[in-house]
């Protein structure tokens, strides 16, 4: 007779792992999208904001490659250059993208309303705050002091090119946070993100996942634009964004990080009851 030992983590949450643009800073996630549009424009290729948002959440080299493979963008590239986009073209676009992103990331990096209050509540519960991003390390090194000056200093930050395994939708950046923060079980972590690859990352790492609809890439409005909408207009924008994140596997979807503390309480109740992500 054989026995299988099954252990379920029933302790408290230990960490929240947050994305950056569209999650804690840059309501509407404009820094990466607008710069990508401008990088392609440097090659005489028009890319719309809607197209630029499709692969959001991937590491930026991968994002450029995926954007170039969209049928509409691929057709424009073929018409302009007489061939499909090649790896060396992605390299050239990335080389154009990087200095623009470094120059402009600060312009779009205001903290999302309620972020600091949320972080304070998380810390008061004893939670560690980890982060990861589709941004490369060069951009994160520019963004971190800007965020610190605004009062946001996470315990850990992993950039898309920090790890040899790569970035999203794989679990590696989220798991690197687990290692660096000294977390005892992945079920004690909550991954918070506004993109489908970011939700996939959290699920692949075995974590609880929370999607952000209004503040992130899926709605794609500035905070002022969001506030100016009627409640009916917000609902019309929110529902398809939330559905997309739920379809990706998010355990919860909320408008913005400001609502996260309430969800944290619910997840801890589920953990105490023996549930796992």
- Which are the contacts of 10, defined by CB distance < 8 A and separation ≥ 6? 271, 272, 273, 274
Element holding 138 (H helix, E strand)? helix 137-149
141 classed as catalytic: no
- Give the integer Cα–Cα distance in Å for 261 and 14: 14
- Give the integer Cα–Cα distance in Å for 12 and 269: 9
- Give the integer Cα–Cα distance in Å for 8 and 263: 21
| Count helices and strands in the chain by DSSP H and E runs | 12, 6
Other CB atoms within 10 A of residue 138 CB: 15
Burial 36-60 (b: 16+ CB within 10 A, else e): bbbbbeebebebeeebbbbbbbbbb
Residue 82: is it exposed, middle or buried by C-beta count within 10 angstroms (0-12/13-18/19+)? exposed
Q: Check 26, 60, 193, 244 and give the catalytic one.
A: 60
Q: Check 19, 161, 194, 255 and give the catalytic one.
A: 19
- Residues in the chain, how many? 277
- Give the integer Cα–Cα distance in Å for 115 and 19: 12
185 classed as catalytic: no
Question: What amino acid positions are annotated as catalytic residues?
Answer: 19, 60
């Amino acid at each position: 007779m054989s026995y299988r030992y099954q252990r379920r983590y029933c302790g408290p949450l230990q960490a929240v792992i947050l994305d950056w643009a569209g999650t804690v800073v840059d309501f509407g996630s404009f820094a990466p999208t607008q710069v990508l549009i401008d990088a392609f424009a440097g090659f005489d290729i028009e890319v719309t904001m809607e197209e630029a948002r499709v692969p959001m959440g991937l590491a930026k080299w991968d994002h450029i490659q995926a954007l170039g493979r969209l049928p509409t963008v691929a057709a424009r590239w073929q018409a302009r250059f007489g061939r499909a986009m090649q790896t060396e073209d992605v390299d050239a676009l990335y080389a154009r993208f990087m200095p623009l992103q470094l120059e402009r990331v600060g312009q779009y990096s205001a903290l999302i309303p309620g972020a600091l209050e949320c972080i304070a509540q998380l810390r008061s519960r004893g939670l560690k705050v980890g982060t990861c991003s589709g941004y490369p390390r060069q951009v994160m090194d520019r963004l971190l002091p800007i965020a610190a000056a605004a009062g946001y200093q996470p315990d850990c930050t992993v950039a898309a090119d920090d790890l040899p395994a790569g970035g999203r939708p794989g679990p590696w950046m989220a798991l690197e946070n687990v290692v660096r923060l000294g977390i005892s079980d992945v079920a004690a972590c909550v991954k918070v993100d506004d993109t489908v690859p970011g939700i996939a990352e959290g699920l692949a790492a075995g974590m609880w996942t929370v999607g952000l609809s209004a503040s992130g890439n899926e709605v794609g409005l500035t905070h002022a634009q969001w506030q100016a909408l009627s409640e009916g207009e917000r609902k019309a924008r929110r529902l398809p964004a939330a559905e997309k994140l739920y379809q990706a596997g998010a355990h919860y979807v909320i408008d913005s990080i400001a609502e996260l503390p309430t969800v944290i309480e619910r997840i801890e109740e589920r953990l105490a009851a023996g549930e796992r992500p």
